[in-house]
Amino acid sequence: MDLTGHRIVITGAGRDFGRALAHHFAGLGAELFLAARTSAAAEATRREIRDRGHEQVHAFACDLSVPASIRSFAGELGERTDRIDVLVNNGARWLEGPDLLSASDEDVADTIASGGTGTILVTKNLLPLLLASACPDVVTLVSTCGLPGAHHARAHEAYYAVKNAQRGFTEALSRRLRPHGVRVISLFPPDFDSSRDILAPEWDSISRDTHSPLAAQSVIDCITFAIRQPRDCFINAFHFEPVSVTSAP
């Protein structure tokens, strides 16, 4: 699956799943625009990818909890490119807690701001660049916590609120943008292990059989499959059957 010529933005690209996704898309030839809360985090992923021989990768700071930071990121991006083909809304804060009282007001506000408001504002500010593309896709990593009636043993109520906000936003956005040819693709995975290093030998040897928990590799495969479909194919959501719990989504 060659993505040469595609220009892809990934938020939360400084670590874990976002970093793995960046390396994967680099391997397929895409030009990458990587955002992380700090420029150092984004630059670390950029440097790794360039060390592997892929030159078309750019790093940006973007704090999803700060609207001014998002606007600054969008402005810098507009100076580097005249279009975006794929936006991956991956950045969001995980918040764990046994009850509502277990998290501070600041943690609740930051969780909702980064995952909820941040997802909306990144998409809003980058929409002109997406509309300039002949093949625009908006991909959002939601969670099973965004589904009605979902239950997670460790997720804080604020995390549920964020993921339900993302689901509502992407559902409405899909209806609004389809006439403009923009595909809005949401993924609702259960917990999956996103901590494995894509550069480590064991990345390709992880068990992915019937009884294994969902692997990050499989989520990446779903994203790649969706954006490579012909433009008449609008896959608006991937729903995954949970098997077992491994780590935070």
User: How many angstroms separate the CA atoms of 125 and 49, rounded?
Assistant: 26
Domain boundaries, given as residue ranges, for the chain: 7-239
Mean predicted lDDT score pLDDT of the chain = 94
> How far apart are the two ends of the chain, measured CA to CA in Å?
26
Regarding the domain delimited by 7-239, which CATH topology (the fold level of the hierarchy) does it fall under?
A: Rossmann fold (3.40.50)
How does pLDDT run across 106-132, given as a tens digit for each residue? 999 999 999 999 999 999 999 999 999
* Residue that is written with structure tokens 């609207």 in the block: 67
Amino acid identity of residue 87, one-letter, is: L
* Residue that is written with structure tokens 């892809």 in the block: 8
pLDDT band at 244 (very low <50, low <70, confident <90, very high): low
Token output for 240: 């995954």
What pLDDT score does 202 carry? 84
**Contact (CB, 8 A) for 213 and 192:** yes
Q: At what angle do helices 105-112 and 157-177 cross, to 10 degrees?
A: 20
Enumerate long-range contacts of 95-102, CB under 8 Å, 24 or more apart: 95/155, 95/156, 95/158, 95/159, 96/154, 96/155, 96/156, 96/159, 96/248, 97/154, 97/155, 97/156, 97/157, 98/154, 99/157, 100/156, 100/157, 102/156
How does pLDDT run across 176-224, given as a tens digit for each residue? 999 999 999 999 999 887 778 888 888 887 888 888 888 999 999 999 9
